[in-house]
Chain A
Amino acid sequence: MLPQVLASGLSAGSIYALMALALVITYKTTEVPNFAQGDMAMVSAFIAYMFLTDFETGFIFAFGVALVFAFLLGVGFEGLLLRRMRKPTHLNLIIMTLGFTLALFGFAGWKWGADQRHFPFPISANEVIRFGSVSISTLSVATILIAGILMLLVFVFFRFTKLGVAMQATQQDPIAARINGVPARAVVGLTFGISSVIGTVAALLTAPLITLDPTLMWDALLKGFAAAVLGGLNTPVGAVLGGYLLGVIENLFGAYVSVEFKSVVAFLIIVIVLWFKPSGLFGRHHERKV
């Protein structure tokens, strides 16, 4: 039973890890938890759905359009709303992400309705692959692989490309980065674009697993935050590990304690981590200067 639980934990954890990574990238840059992350991804998934069903395009084209849309949505959100605020205090920035998420949620409900829809996907959630005693759906295998490869690419990008290093520099100190010739404003916009794309991949992998409706990413958003708090809000690697850990813990809880209260685990983890190690398992505490 245990290997089976671990396998499903890893698959669910992949989604949480993607969401956590998306949240942490923007949090590190702006110190704003982007509560619109989930609904931005949800609307992008609906764009893919629209191309697949209304325009009957192929999967690659539809998903490509959704990712491009997600990128533009992220850049636009930062450039047209977050940056244009009169008083960009932390409180106002958080409220802005919440207003945006509510507007997106309403828009999706207006355009596509609140009914649950079947999301067409090239990989089946019902076909099962067996590894010894563990049976796992092809969709779960694909989720683990796609999420893993994407996160690897993101880390390579941040570590080894000039742009990635510029983004890291901006995260550490925007003013110093600008003095050294980094176009900090463009970089912040780009960060939101990339983060939105990562979130959308998570949404495209979630939609075939459950059904597509405007609440698609509520759960994933909470799990992403829980994973990020667990691993450390300031450490992308920690947040990803937190995602996998959360997936496994949650499935262990579901298997041995209670299936019905499985989704309460994320909340309990947030509270427990805040009590005992607020910087997260892998993070260092960050002192704010006056």
Chain B
Amino acid sequence: MIEPTRDHYQDIRLFTARGSWIKLILLLVVLVSLPLLLPGYRVFTLNYMAVFVIVGLGMNVLVGYTGQVSLGHAGFLAIGAYTMVLLMTRLAVPFPLALVMAGFVSAFFGFLLGLPALRLAGPYLAIATLGFGLAVTQIIAHSALFGGHMGLVVPDATVGPFPLSGDVSKYYVIVGITFVLALGVRNLSVTRVGRAFRAISDSEIAAATMGVDVAYYKTLSFAVSAALTGVAGGLLALMTGFISPGVFTFTLSLMFLAMVVFGGLGSITGAVLGSIVMGYLNLEMDAFQELPVLGPALEGFSERFMSTVGLPNFGWVVTGMLIVFTILIEPRGLYGLWIRALDTTKRSKSTDADLSRSGPGAD
């Protein structure tokens, strides 16, 4: 990712290659025109996937950059969603401000949780976040303030004078925010902070030797990750119009992890792609039945050997298997496959290029 030949100012520049501007404008045109081309119910799917992309960006900062695992990001999603809704209903805070607050409150909880767990090497953060995710849903489910098991209805939101009604207007808000956050995370990854993150993920001890305050940067990455997930939680509440503790489960946290692992740890493009695929999978759990040949075959298998009708929970099997096979075959996920494909095509053109790639700056 970081090429040793570039200097600092080239690194932090937003658009690295000359073609970047054109690609970016093309992407914007596609994003703006998508809801106009697709049928209405598909826009809901797009919104859902955009929310997943924000969580994926957050998970990428944590897992991809500093090599820590969180099993409780559904908890941060819940904190973001409930913070925003409660601020809007109880204190009549306008939607944009409530959304920003959702990010901050989430980051604060991330900071509190990360502080003890991240001082220690080893699996402590994973264990602590496992408890955190389950504790958050328990507290929400048993408190009258949070609406208990019954959940809360999200009030109508407005941005300035514009009311956000209907999926299309929400689409522009959600995808706009997603786009800005993606650029922000991309920029973060090439600054001093981003380099510190990656140094830690390569080797904590080496990073500490080079003067990186490991505990500080690990906690920071966790807080940034929680903030992004909190904002995603607020947007999820906005798009669904209703939140309840049943949404924010342990399996959802695992799904979030699956997104970045499948997409490619440490790569923003990978995280975005992985989140889009998994977000779709999560929403359309029974889409397997509609596959041309495989669908009926799977259903037949299901009736014959699993003694059930249809394919209940089959999406989770696929998600789990995707993680297992990604780790087995290519731990860097889709991004890793892409890099490998590039390498193979380059190698067939000229073997000299290999020499420059195999230096310490490779990967």
| Interface residues of A, Cβ cutoff 8 Å to B | 31-33, 35, 81, 84-87, 89-92, 94-96, 98-111, 113-114, 214, 218-219, 221-222, 225-226, 229, 233, 260-261, 263-264, 266-268, 270-271, 274-275, 278, 288, 290
Contacts and interface: CB of A to CB of B under 8 A. Distances in A.
Interface in B323-342: 323-324, 326-331
A278 B119 CA distance: 10
A84 B321 CA distance: 15
Contacts of B255: 102
Contacts of A35: 71, 126, 130
Given A102-B316, A111-B308, A270-B127, A91 B67 contact: yes
A90 B123 contact: yes
A86 B336 CA distance: 13
Contacts of A94: 69, 123, 126
Contacts of B71: 35, 98
Given A102-B255, A104-B320, A278-B116, 8 more contacts: A33-B126, A95-B261, A101-B254, A106-B315, A110-B306, A110-B313, A226-B131, A267-B131
Contacts of B127: 33, 225, 229, 270
A92, A102, A113, most chain B CB atoms within 10 A? A102
Given A102-B316, A278-B120, A87 B126 contact: no
Contacts, number: 160
Given A99-B258, A225-B131, A264 B138 contact: yes
Interface in B223-269: 250-251, 254-255, 257-258, 261, 265
B320 A274 contact: no
A274 B254 CA distance: 23
Contacts of A218: 134, 250
B317 A271 contact: no
B134 A222 contact: yes
A105 B128 contact: no
A214 B250 CA distance: 12
Contacts of A31: 122
Contacts of B314: 106, 110
Contact of A271 (B116, B134, B307, B308): B116
B69 to A, nearest CB: 5
Contacts of A226: 131
- Which 3 pairs between the two chains have the least Cβ-Cβ distance? A99-B323, A103-B320, A106-B316
Interface in B175-206: 205
Contact of B311 (A91, A92, A110, A268): A110
B312 interface: yes
A113 B69 contact: no
Nearest to A102: B320
A149 to B, nearest CB: 28
Contact of B308 (A89, A110, A268): A110
Nearest to B314: A110
A48 to B, nearest CB: 17
A43 B321 CA distance: 16
Residue picked from A107, A109, A110, A111, most chain B C-beta under 10 Å: A110
14 contacts: A33-B126, A81-B328, A84-B328, A94-B126, A96-B327, A98-B71, A101-B320, A110-B313, A214-B313, A233-B122, A261-B142, A266-B131, A268-B135, A278-B116
Contacts of B327: 85-86, 92, 95-96, 99
Given A33-B126, A91-B67, A111-B308, A105 B138 contact: no
Nearest to A109: B313
Nearest to B120: A278
B10 to A, nearest CB: 30
Interface in B298-316: 302, 306-308, 311-316
